[in-house]
């Protein structure tokens, strides 16, 4: 019997839920609060639905010459910077996930670091006015009005 491994059962208690490490997203969401507490009310839901119905394509993709569906209606000037513009339709831009979570997030960070948040609507809608790192360098086959080049 010397060749047979012996296993000993282990009786470990599971850590209580309060002592288990939280997943990063859960901790971040708890810190941010609920969507309703951040100002995303029924009025916002209606405005967002109307806006995405009018502009179903990602506006940044169109500026770059590509055609992708929009999945997010974004506030050009973030609500945390100017809460009064929360329901202002002129402060909205429909974006795809890639542009909302990548390009727009970096542009917002740059604007906040350089204290130029009020320039965001101009930089977003008029691509030629953007800072050097955010200029459009490649364009696709579609014009801004949706026609092909």
Tens digits of per-residue pLDDT, 52-94? 999 999 999 999 999 999 999 999 999 889 989 999 999 999 9
Give the whole-number percent of the chain exceeding pLDDT 70: 78
Evaluate if residue 128 carries a pLDDT over 80.
yes
Please state whether the predicted TM-score (pTM) of the whole model is above 0.85. Answer: no
Tell me the mean pLDDT in the region 99-109: 95
Q: What is the pLDDT of residues 41-56, one digit of tens each?
A: 889 999 999 999 999 9
The C-alpha angle 90, 91, 94, rounded to 5 degrees, equals: 95
- What is d(CA 117, CA 131) in angstroms, rounded to the nearest whole number? 13
Residues 73, 49: Cα–Cα separation, whole Å:
9
pLDDT for res 21? 67
Helices (H), the chain: 24-32, 42-54, 59-64, 97-98, 104-113, 120-125
At 75, list the tokens. Answer: 């506030």
In angstroms, the CA 62 to CA 144 distance is 5
Bridge-partner residues for 73, per DSSP? 94
């Amino acid at each position: 019997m010397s060749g047979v491994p012996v296993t000993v059962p282990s009786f470990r208690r599971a850590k209580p839920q309060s002592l288990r490490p939280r997943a990063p997203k859960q901790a971040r969401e708890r810190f941010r609060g609920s969507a309703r507490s951040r100002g995303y009310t029924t009025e916002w839901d209606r405005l967002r639905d109307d806006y995405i119905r009018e502009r179903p394509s990602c506006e940044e993709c169109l500026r770059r010459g590509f055609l992708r569906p929009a999945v997010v209606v974004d506030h050009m000037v973030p609500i945390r910077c100017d809460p009064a513009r929360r329901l202002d339709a002129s402060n909205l831009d429909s974006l795809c996930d890639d542009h909302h979570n990548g390009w727009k997030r970096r542009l917002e960070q740059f604007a906040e670091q350089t204290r130029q948040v009020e320039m965001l609507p101009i930089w977003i809608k008029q691509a030629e006015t953007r800072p050097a790192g955010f200029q459009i360098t490649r364009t696709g086959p579609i014009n801004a009005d949706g026609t092909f080049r």
